[in-house]
Every structure is written in C-alpha cells, then in structure tokens.
Chain A
Amino acid sequence: MSATPVLALRGVSKRFGAVQALTDVELEVHAGEVVALVGDNGAGKSTLVKTIAGVHPIDDGVIEWEGSAVQISKPHDAQNLGIATVYQDLALCDNIDVVGNLYLGRELRRRGVLDEVEMERRARELLTTLSIRIPSVRIPIASLSGGQRQTVAIARSMLGEPKLVILDEPTAALGVEQTAQVLDLVERLRDRGHAVILISHNMADVKAVADKVAVLRLGRNNGVFDVASTSQEEIISAITGATDNAVTRRAARNAEVQK
C-alpha cells in the first residue's frame, strides 16, 4: 500500500439550504484498498460520494488527489482524474439503449461518426465478463428490471481505467449470484491496485470485502475501523451512536426468547 492516499478528504463540509449534510468529514483511500462507507439512512454517504464525483461541489475543506489538492467542481473534473462512480439512483438515461448508456459522454468514434459496431462489441464483451444477463444490448434502459439497470450502471463504471471506483449501494437490488459477482469484482479491482469506496448497509458484504470501514453519523465522521480487528457490534454501535440501540435490544430480546 502506497504512503500517499489516492484520495483524501480534509475537513469537507456540504450544506443544502437548511440541512448541514456533511461537517468536517475526513476520509483516506489508498490504492489497492477497499474502504467501506457505512452509516444510517440520511447519514450523508451519498452526499459525500457526490461531492467526490463533482455532482455537488464542496462548500469547505480540501480534496487531495494523489497528494495534491484538486478542485472538483463538475463531474467532468472527477472523470478526468480517474474517478468512476455508480450512483445510488443509477443516473441512466431511460430512452437510450444499453450500449448508448455504457458509453454516454465518452462515445467511441470512427472518422467523427459514432462507432456503434465497436461500442456494441465491447459492451457485449464487458457484460459477458461481468456475467450480466440482459435480453439485448440494444433495448432502452426503461425496459430493464431494477437489478439489470444496476448491473448496467456498474458495468459503466468499469469502462476505461478508473483509479478510484465508488459504488453507492451497488448490490441493493441484486440477486444472490449477481451480488457475489459484484463482490468478486470489488476484490478484483483491489487486486489490480485500484482504490474502491463501497457503500453498503449489508454488514456481511462489508466484512467480506472491505479493508477499512469508515462510519458516518449525522454527517460527521464516527470512526474508521480496521475490518479484520473489529467486531460487527462495534461497527454497529458506531453507526447508531450508542451501545444500547435497536440492533442490540433486538438481539437481547431474541436471546431471551430462546432461553
């Protein structure tokens, strides 16, 4: 693992009108590392992702890319740095077919004209590589199932050579097999030296692939844990902010019932 992180956030804050979504958030991601970002609903995970991806420029703080401060004020800036993002709301164009969506904004051209043949060939290859099954790469996104859309969004982030891949709840709508595929994919990205930020509510997935877990709570950092040496209970109490929380109470209740 390299000494300088690929991406580092220093004191990042973001405000939406009356909502202070992020306050002084710190985060470091190194090459070849999977950082899981966890937190309750509305904790600010997606907002944090969007600030990194340039969808919502930050109000305060510094974003460092490979050791030097950078301005990310629009999605294009993030793409140029090598950041690929799968958004929670997917951000696909319903009226455009799968191939068109995969290459949206970076279409392949041949003598100035869209090279549909090459795009379609690579798209099929990519989807096969990721074991993604969709009826046809030439049907509009609108006619795919929710999970299929999600796989298309994930495939989209794999095009090109991203240095950092951000996955915002990539497995939320996926079946068992596809979830396993995505987790494999995350591991493979790490092994190839990419940095990955993975957002998930599924603790088992997080424990399976992540190296570090960063917890957000009400828009603030609430600890960064090493996955190997931290128990699930510790992470959950960091997420909920208390050792006595709905999860532990439920566990205790179940234990009593069993007695």
Chain B
Amino acid sequence: MSTDKTSTPLGKADPAAADDAPAPAPAAVTAVDPRLLVREQGFAGYLSEFKRKMRAGDLGSIPVVIGLIVIWAIFQGLNSNFLSAGNLSNIAVSMVATGMMAVGIIFVLLLGEIDLSVGSVSGVSGAIVAVLSVTNGINEWLAIVAAIVGGALIGVIHGFFFARIGAPAFAVTLSGLLFWQGFMLQLLGSNGTINLDSDGLVGQLTTYYFSDVAAAYGLAVVAVAAFFLSSFTDSRRREAAGVPSRPLSEIVLRTALLAVLAFAAAATFNQYKGLPLAVLLFLLVLVASDFVLRRTAYGRKVFALGGSVEASRRAGINVTAVRISVFAIAGTFAAVGGLFWASKIAAANQSAAPATC
C-alpha cells in the first residue's frame, strides 16, 4: 500500500463511517497479508491440511478418537457383549449423569477456574428430590424444580465467595465439596438412603425409551438437516457480505460425516429399546450450551474472562456478574446430573457425588 497520503484509503474514507456504511467495500478483501497461505479448495485441500497438521504434531481430537477405539477393542476382546447394542445403549444412558455435570464444569474451565464441588452438589440435588417427593410426598415436578433451583443457588453462593469476596475458586469449591456432602447426609437423615420409585418422574429419566424406531431416526434426520441448513444459510450470508465462507463441498462433507454418525447411533439405539430419554435430553443440553457459548454475547463474555480479566473489565464487562452466573450454571448442571444419578441407582444415598468418590 502506498505511503502517499492522498492515495491511501485513509484519505478518502473515515474510520467511523465504516461502522454504518451499508454496502460491503470491495477493498475489504484486499486487506490480507500476502504471506497468508490459502488452503487449497475442496477435498484435496482438506487432506493436505490434515497431513500437514499431523506432521506438525497438531493432533487435535485424534488422540481421543484413537483412545476410544483402543478401549473399545480391548473391552470387546475381554467380553464379546461389549459392543452390543444393549451395552452401548446402557453406557450412553449411564454417561448422562456425569455428562451433565461436565457441561457445567466446562463453563467454569472456560473462565480459567475450577469447580471441585459438583459431585457433592449433585448429591444434594438427589437428596432434595428424595426428601421432598418420597419423605414429604410433594409433587415430583416441584421436587425436581426445587433440586435444580437449589443447585443454582449453591452455585451462586460459590460464585459470591469467589467473585465478590475474592477467595480462590479452588478453596471455595473445595470447602463447598465438604460442606455440601455433610449437608446431603443431614438431609438424608439417619438411614442415609432414601429409595426412589423407579416408575416415578425421576426414575423415568433413565428408564424411559422412545421405543418407536421413528423417534431415533427422526432425531437423526432433524439433526442432520438442521446442521446442513444452518451451515448452508450461514455460508450464503457470508458470501453475500463478501467475507470468507465455507465452500459447499466442505459443508456437504461435514454433513455426510455427521449423518453417518447420527444414523449409526440411531440404528444402535433402535436395535435395543429405542431412543433413551436421557440421551435425548443430554443432546439437547449439549446443543444449547454450545449455542450459548459460541453464538451469544454472554458466551463471548465467558471466553473473554478466560482470556484476560483486566481486558474484559476495561471492555465494560461486568466481571462479578459473569463469574457468579457461571458458577450458578455449574451448580445447576451439577443438580441436573444428580437427578440422573439418583434415577440410575433409584435412590438418593452416599454413593451419590460420583465425581468425588
């Protein structure tokens, strides 16, 4: 670009006008560094990029996938029932309790903090439901709402001590771990165990299956279609605005990959009892939390705080509020996970708090 004042873009346009200029400026595309290596288009580009990354030691999620395959191979060798539809389906359902807690923890980890208390909080949640619905005969829906609200409040308390008082999250949630475990024992009373009705609402969380094969396949179709449509419309909008977009071939490839996975999973579930309610709920939570983290201003604030607290503060982000809300989210999901755990063992007892024992 020229240093001659009159011919630089500075001379003709002013910066603030960039804010309300309606049409995309064609010049915008030229602002790239000539040294930037543009990936080859299409599938070949994908492959060469993949090879380069492997060679550079940038393995991404490959180790996880390989690890999973190795684990599956070993267990299948030990017991030929391991990869059966029934077992895989049961594992998927069992995963949901810890999975829900993990979703909450991810929010905290993105802040660069830690929450050690989720196990205990999940135990408290199970105890609240059991005490309210079994011991006191309160409507199970109400009991569930109370447990989840309780988890959120516990999270707010942790967040308050961390964000307002300034105690390290490690210390706050470690004491939370101990305190809420004691609180759970207190709630459960002298027996230490309250059995849940496995046909009740909580019981059904992990025992209900949509036995109609259309349910699992339908979900797969909806998921694949939604993925394709959102990628496609997004790419079209980007194209229209003159910013780099994904080529159609890449979208199709990604959609195809998702379709293979989705239909394989659906077929597996259908071979057994059908789509488990727990798995459906977990998938919904995953999609929703991914959406919140990557597509909303709130999620951006969470990432920003994880990057630099001071920069976030100077950008006008209410650091305290975001921190407290993140711990509230962790508490909420811990409580939700606790419900699934209680549902799985059909009881509330000390064996809850799976993450701590």
Contact = CB atoms under 8 A, between A and B. Distances in A.
A92 B311 contact: yes
Contact of B300 (A107, A131, A132, A180): A107
B314 interface: yes
Nearest to A134: B33
A104 B304 contact: yes
Contact of B28 (A74, A76, A107, A125): A125
Given A125-B24, A181-B10, A188-B10, A93 B311 contact: yes
Nearest to B242: A121
A125 B307 CA distance: 25
Contacts of A17: none
Interface stretch (B14-22, B50-58, B84-92, B348-356): B14-22
B303 A96 contact: yes
B62 interface: no
Nearest to A120: B243
B29 interface: yes
B15 A130 contact: yes
Interface in A79-134: 79, 85, 87, 90-96, 100, 104-107, 109, 112-114, 117-118, 120-122, 124-134
Nearest to A160: B19
B87 to A, nearest CB: 39
Contact of A76 (B15, B238, B311, B316): B316
A246 to B, nearest CB: 34
B65 interface: no
B3 interface: yes
Contacts of A105: 312, 315-317
B19 A159 contact: yes
A53 interface: yes
A184 B6 CA distance: 11
A192 interface: yes
A91 B241 CA distance: 29
Nearest to B31: A128
A117 B233 CA distance: 11
A158 B15 contact: yes
A189 to B, nearest CB: 8
A118 B35 CA distance: 26
A53 B310 CA distance: 13
Interface string A178-196: 0011001100100010000
Which applies to chain B's interface (DSSP): helix, strand, loop or mixed?
helix
Interface in A47-98: 53, 55, 74-76, 79, 85, 87, 90-96
A231 interface: no
B27 interface: yes
Interface string B267-296: 000000000000000000000000000011
B13 A129 contact: yes
Contacts of A95: 303, 306-307
Nearest to A104: B315
B64 interface: no
A161 interface: yes
Nearest to B317: A105
A136 interface: yes
Given A93-B304, A107-B300, A131-B1, A117 B314 contact: no
B308 interface: yes
B78 interface: no
A79 B15 contact: no
B239 to A, nearest CB: 10
A116 to B, nearest CB: 8
B327 to A, nearest CB: 20
A99 to B, nearest CB: 9
A130 B10 contact: yes
A107 B297 contact: yes
A256 interface: no
Contacts of A158: 15-16, 18
A256 to B, nearest CB: 38
B29 to A, nearest CB: 7
A104 B28 contact: no
Nearest to B28: A124
A244 interface: no
Interface of B: 1, 3, 5, 8-10, 13-16, 18-19, 21, 24-25, 27-33, 35-36, 234, 237-238, 241-244, 295-297, 300, 303-304, 306-308, 310-318
Given A93-B303, A155-B15, 7 more contacts: A107-B297, A117-B238, A129-B14, A135-B32, A135-B33, A158-B18, A192-B16
